[in-house]
Amino acid sequence: MCMEKQQIISNIAREVEQKLSSEGTGHDWWHIVRVQNMARHIGEREGTDLFVVELAALLHDIADWKFHDGDEQIGPRTAEEILSRYKVPKEICTHVCNIISHLSFKGANIATPMSTREGAVVQDADRLDAIGAIGIARACAYGGYKHRLIHDPRITPTLHQTKEAYFANENTTINHFYEKLLLLKDRMNTQTAQTIAQRRHEFMEKFLEEFNKEWDGA
């Protein structure tokens, strides 16, 4: 990648770090660093445009609608404002913002296709960070931020049919594993991510098995 593009990436990284350094929901600066590194790793193997991949990874959680009164356009709009300030060419800006708009998981039975290979790579990297040991830690951080119960055996998980039902859901943190995290392994776009996801998935299964044993007094 040329020096000019690398400079843009490091300048934007500095801005994102400032904005997300004290974020407490698991969408903090270090989540961004992990997604950027993983996206670069997968993107190199998949032969993608790494400038687009790294920009989208850096900016994908810059302004999440969940924390901005449900404004679904706030993420891509904020990203566009930053990219245009750095004079990133229009077609790259459109591509990055399009990836950010379509990245999120929206419920068990709602497809979230990515129309470009760069988008597929960033979606995989973001989803890999939602599973495994780090995924468990992030789910607990998010549940605490939302004042959710850790677990309530009387509440059963729901496989949502619409994104509205999924987003309105106020379920427990343990149910989030069944409603999202355990489903991600089979929704990876690339072979590289599928292989990494398999190990992280098995770790979550072991965690849940132990959690349930302890719940029953073991």
Interacting residues with ligand ADP (CB under 6 A): 26, 104-105, 126, 130, 135, 138-139, 142-143, 148, 173, 176
Least distance from C-beta 1 to ligand ADP, angstroms?
25
Quick check: 61 binds Ni ion (CB under 5 A)?
yes
Contact (Cβ atoms closer than 8 angstroms) between residue 126 and residue 188: no
Rounded to whole angstroms, how far apart are CA atoms 9 and 181? 30
Least distance from C-beta 125 to Ni ion, angstroms?
9
Contact (Cβ atoms closer than 8 angstroms) between residue 13 and residue 58: yes
Q: Output 27 or 185, the one with its CB closest to Ni ion.
A: 27
CB proximity list for 122: less than 8 A, separation 6 or greater = 35, 39, 53, 56, 57, 60, 99, 103, 114
3 state SS of 37: helix
Least distance from C-beta 169 to Ni ion, angstroms?
19
Q: Output 15 or 134, the one with its CB closest to ligand ADP.
A: 134
Contact (Cβ atoms closer than 8 angstroms) between residue 163 and residue 111: no
Least distance from C-beta 18 to ligand ADP, angstroms?
20
Q: Output 8 or 183, the one with its CB closest to ligand ADP.
A: 183
In the DSSP assignment, the letter for residue 87 is T
Q: Output 95 or 148, the one with its CB closest to ligand ADP.
A: 148
Q: Output 80 or 126, the one with its CB closest to Ni ion.
A: 126
In the DSSP assignment, the letter for residue 148 is -
Least distance from C-beta 216 to Ni ion, angstroms?
34
Q: Which residues from 121-140 bind Ni ion, rule CB under 5 A?
A: 126
Rounded to whole angstroms, how far apart are CA atoms 90 and 81? 12
Kindly indicate which of the ranges 37-45, 53-61, 160-168, 181-189 contains the residues binding Ni ion, using the contact rule CB under 5 A.
53-61
* Residue reference for tokens 């995290």: 181
Interaction site with Ni ion (CB under 5 A): 61, 126
